[in-house]
Structure formats: structure tokens, C-alpha cells
Amino acid sequence: MKHDDMHRVRRRAAMTAIDRAVSALEDATTRPTHVSLAGRIDHGAVRAFDRRHFLRVGSSALATAFLSACGLAGNDDAKRVIAYASRKNESVERWLFRHTAINVGSPGASVAGAKFPAYFVSPVVPVWGTARGPWTLAVSGMVARPASLSLEALMSLPRARQRVEHFCVEGWNALANFTGVRVSELARRAGASPNARFVDFQSFDGGYHESWDIESALHDQTLIVYGKDGELLTAPFGAPARLHSPVKLGYKNTKYLTRIVFMRESNGGYWTDRGYEWYGGT
Amino acid sequence: MPLGALMTETTVVTESERPGIPRHHWIVRLSHWVNAIAFTIMVGSGLRIFNAYPAFHRKGDAAFPLWPFEGTPAPAWLTFGTFLGNARMWHFAMMWVLVATGLLYVGFIYLHGEWRDLLPRRGDPRDAWEMIRFYTLARKDHPRQGKHNALQKVTYFLMPFVGLVIVLSGIAIWKPVSLGWITALFGGFVWARWWHFAAMLVLVGMSVVHVFMVISVDPYSIRSMVTGGYNPRLSPEARNARPFSGLFRNLFRTSETPPR
């Protein structure tokens, strides 16, 4: 006798004769199709029916799940679940973040130069017109000494140069030489409050902004960039100044900067409000 | 006639006609199906992410040498997710499910001993060759096998390792700065993306062949992956089964003694 059969015999013995008679009677009355023409109850069929029934219910549930998979991705409940997972992921990403982890552009690779993709959300390339007065970068929010820096003032601050990768959310990367000022330097000069947990980077590109966690903003490679590949930034790449850091995906790096705000709470961002992950760290 | 007596008799007969031996532990079955669903969503959302930049080369570099189809996106019907941001959220949610079931499965077969069914042994290349001869009609009778034939064995053995490459290269793409040393292990971001994609293609290929062989050679094994029971009389070896050949052999046999 095989192991499985023994198992079944033992299980069957555990049932009382009365139980069996009652369940057989129920089966016979509620499921007449399983009583053969000769009036004999095909118990095997009944047992198989239970399993088959389970399988049929199970497989139809599976099929329903599969068919609805097409609509599943955008389903509201599903969205809540993945948004929850995204929040949990954020804590993992924050835990993985290291100030000591820096990006060094591959020595063998060449800079993208003009092949560096440029984008903006306005219908045309945003340019700071003279009608708006001179461009300034405001440093505000939870700071002891709010500042408004002209491009010249910005360029007179200690310079940081770095040859780093730019990681786009789409999956491409590009190498560039960036010149600028560390956000940590601006924070120190402005006297940012230790209670500030977030930093918002705002632009004159149709309301585009993205808020960051303070740790990423104060990373050594997070710069307010005014030079790219040895020249001043040009309009397609975010002139006069943009935010750039390899520690965040491209969409977090606001171009056409106008204002840096140190805050207690996050205020989302342009792409973040459109369903992209807020943290967007690399 | 009392109902009970009748029932006992028929039950015994029926069961000897449908022998089933336990084959897969419930943990293996659970992780198999959770994995199947999670992996499908991972591939679909991954292809949706890939389609945002269906190429590998760094911007400004020449075309990537190991992918001749740069610029060609995956067909939309294979993708999962309403848009890039949504597909990414699915990808980064489902990865935990996949890693959890992967660890559960590997941990279980290690502790419970099932890894021995998959461990390559000295005779495996020869047995695999004999299976290939059998499938290509160069050999008439099905080679003797244990739980799996040699081709299955090597596939199931390799799958977790391909999965490991996918997970590590995925982490390398996810955190190319925070975990830049993992990215460097793969030869940088561009190569890590290629490894992630190539290993995915290998695992998808293995899975497609697996599903084809289950349907065309051993559909009875679906039962063993659902209820756990397997009928040795309907094994591919007992049926001398090739794809779509010998599918129903032995199915209605009433003999008391199963072969082997």
C-alpha cells in the first residue's frame, strides 16, 4: 500500500460511520448526477467532484485575475497597494543612502556634449527675459539669512567641478562635466535650520519644481550648476542655473532654477504629482 | 444494502485506479505559483520601463554591441503598467514578492533536501544527450529518469542562478550611486542594464519552454503543482511521451500494477 493510500485510510477511519452515511446521503440528494443509473453512489466521483469543484473555483478565480490584469495596473485598489509599497521602498532607499557614496564618471567614456538630451515642460524653451528684471536665485524658508543671489554672486562662491553620470528615469545615462556651487555650501551660508527636513527647488519653467529630502540635497555631489562641459549653461540645458546631482534621477533635478526653499514638510513635485516616485534616488 | 459498506468498496476500487504519490511540498507549490504571477508582472512592467529607452548605449556613445535591436520597443501587449511611473512602482513593489518567494523556495529546498533532486551529477550530460536523442526521434524509448529528466534538472537547477543575476543587476540599476560597487561588478550602469535584460530573456526563454513542455509532454504534472499528488503511471517515461505524442497513453488503463 502506498504512502498516500495509507494516509487516506487513516483519515477515513477518523470519520464515523454516521458522518459518512449523512454526507453520502447529502451528496446523493443534492448532487443527483453522481448517482449512477444502477442507483449506486459513485463515491470516487463525489470525492473527485469536491476536488474538481475546488480546482474549478480556483482556476476561474485565477482566470478572472488574469483577465482583469489588463485593467489591474491602473486599478484604484492596486494603486493604493503599490503606493504603499513605494512608501516602504522610500525608507529602504533612505537607509541605503550614503553621503560617502559618490559617482565617478567612467574614465573610458566620453561626455555626451550636445547629445545630452534636453527637456522642459513649457511649450517652448524657457528663457529668462530681460523684461522680468535680472535673474536671481532666492534661498529662503527655514534659513537664518535669506539670500537673493545674482548669477555673478553665485559664480563667486566656492566652485565645485565634477564629471558625473546623469541617470534618467527612462533608463538612459549621460556623462557631463558640471561646474557649480554645492547646495550644502548655500545651506551653510544661509544658515539653514537643523529642523529643515526637505528642500524645494523651484523654477521658471511652467511651475516645475521638485522637493528633496535634506540628506540628498546636502550630498557633496548635489550642485547648483551654471557651467556644463566648460561653458556657461545654455537655454536648453536649464540656463542660467540648474540643480544637478547623480544621487537623484533626472526628473528630480530642477532646471531653470529661481528659488530654493528649506522646509519642514515635503511639497511633492511636478513629476511626483503626476504619479512618479517622490524619492527618485539612485 | 447499507450505504456505508457500498461506499467503502467503491472507494477502494476508485483509488487503486487513481494512484497518486506526493510529489511537491506545499511550500514549493505556493512559491511556484506566487513566483509565476510575480515574475509575469515583473517582466511586463520591466518591458514597459525598457520601452521608455529601448536601447543600452550611454547618450553620446556608439550603438551597444550586444543588442542589435536598439531603438525597437517591446510590443505594447507584452507590457504592464499604465505609464512609466506606474510601471516602475509595480516593478519596485513586486520585486519584494519575488525576492521573498525566491528566498522561501531556495531556503526550503536547502533545508528539506529537495535540492538533491536538482544537483547536477556526473551522468547528467549523458542523460541530457539521451533526452535530446529521444525528443529528436533518434531514440525510441524514453530514457529512465527519476523525479525529473536530465534536461529538466539542469533547467530547474540553473533558474535560481539566473534569477540571482537578475536581482543583483536590478539592484545595480536601481542604486548605481548608493550601491555603486554592485554596479561596478557588472561593468557599470550600461552593462548592468544589459545583464538585467539579457538574464531576463534567458529566464523568460526557460519559462516559455517549461510551459510548452508541461502542456505538450506532461500536463499531468500540473496536478502535482496544484494538489501535490502525482500519478507515476502517467509520467512521461511511463507514457513514452514526446511533445504532443503519447499524451493520453495509460490514461484509461485499468491494470492493477502500474509499470515500474
Query: B88 and A89: CB-CB below 8 Å?
Result: no
Query: B178 and A111: CB-CB below 8 Å?
Result: no
* Per-residue pLDDT at B70: 92
* Per-residue pLDDT at A51: 56
* Distant-in-sequence, close-in-space partners of A45: CB < 8 Å, separation ≥ 6: A34, B14
Q: Looking up cell 548635489, which residue turns up? A: A222
* Distant-in-sequence, close-in-space partners of A83: CB < 8 Å, separation ≥ 6: B89
Q: Does B36 touch chain A (CB under 8 A)?
A: no
* Per-residue pLDDT at B8: 47
Q: Is A54 helix (H, G, I), strand (E, B) or coil?
A: helix
| CA dist., res. B233 & res. B137, Å (int) | 22
H or E stretch covering A186: helix A183-190
E strands along chain B, which residues?
21-22, 229-230
Query: B88 and A167: CB-CB below 8 Å?
Result: no
Q: Which residue of A has its CA nearest to B33?
A: A62
Q: Which residues in chain A have Cβ-Cβ distances shorter than 8 Å to B176? A: 103, 165, 167, 173, 282
**pTM for this prediction:** 0.81
| CA dist., res. B97 & res. B92, Å (int) | 10
Give me the DSSP letters along B59-115.
Answer: TTSPPPTT-TTTT-PPPGGG--SSSHHHHHHHHHHHHHHHHHHHHHHHHHHHHHSTH
| CA dist., res. A169 & res. B49, Å (int) | 9
Q: Which residues in chain B have Cβ-Cβ distances shorter than 8 Å to A77? A: none
What ipTM was estimated for this complex? 0.83
Among B11, B24, B46, which Cα is nearest to B156's? B24
Write out chain A's pLDDT in tens, 282 residues: 444 444 444 444 444 444 444 444 444 444 433 333 343 434 444 444 465 565 566 666 665 555 555 577 778 888 889 889 999 999 999 999 999 999 998 888 899 999 999 999 999 999 998 889 999 999 999 999 999 999 999 999 999 999 999 999 999 999 999 999 999 999 999 999 999 999 999 999 999 999 999 999 999 999 999 999 999 999 999 999 999 999 999 999 999 999 999 999 999 999 999 999 999 999
Write out chain B's pLDDT in tens, 260 residues: 444 444 444 444 444 445 578 899 999 999 999 999 999 999 999 999 999 999 999 999 999 999 999 999 999 999 999 999 999 999 999 999 999 999 999 999 999 999 999 999 999 999 999 999 999 999 999 999 989 999 999 999 999 999 999 999 999 999 999 999 999 999 999 999 999 999 999 999 999 999 999 999 999 999 999 999 898 889 999 999 999 998 998 888 655 555 55
From residue A11, alpha-carbon distances to A4, A267, B118, B160 in Å are 11, 62, 32, 37
Q: Is B222 helix (H, G, I), strand (E, B) or coil?
A: helix
Q: Is the peptide bond before B2 cis (omega within 30 degrees of 0)?
A: no
| CA dist., res. B215 & res. A146, Å (int) | 70
| CA dist., res. B118 & res. B99, Å (int) | 20
Query: A41 and B14: CB-CB below 8 Å?
Result: no
Q: Which residues in chain B have Cβ-Cβ distances shorter than 8 Å to A42? A: 10, 14
Q: How many residues does chain B have?
A: 260
Q: Does B80 touch chain A (CB under 8 A)?
A: yes
Query: A44 and B10: CB-CB below 8 Å?
Result: yes
Query: B22 and A3: CB-CB below 8 Å?
Result: yes
Residues in a beta bridge with B203: none
* Distant-in-sequence, close-in-space partners of A98: CB < 8 Å, separation ≥ 6: B178
Task: Provide the greatest CA pair distance for chain B.
Answer: 88
Q: A225 and A244 in contact (C-beta within 8 Å)?
A: yes
Residue pLDDT, tens place only, B129-148: 999 999 999 999 999 998 99
The radius of gyration of chain A's CA atoms, rounded to the nearest angstrom, is: 32
Q: Is A223 helix (H, G, I), strand (E, B) or coil?
A: strand
Sheet holding A198-203, edge to edge: A147-150, A136-141, A257-263, A198-203, A209-213
Burial class (CB in 10 A: 0-12, 13-18, 19+), B138: exposed
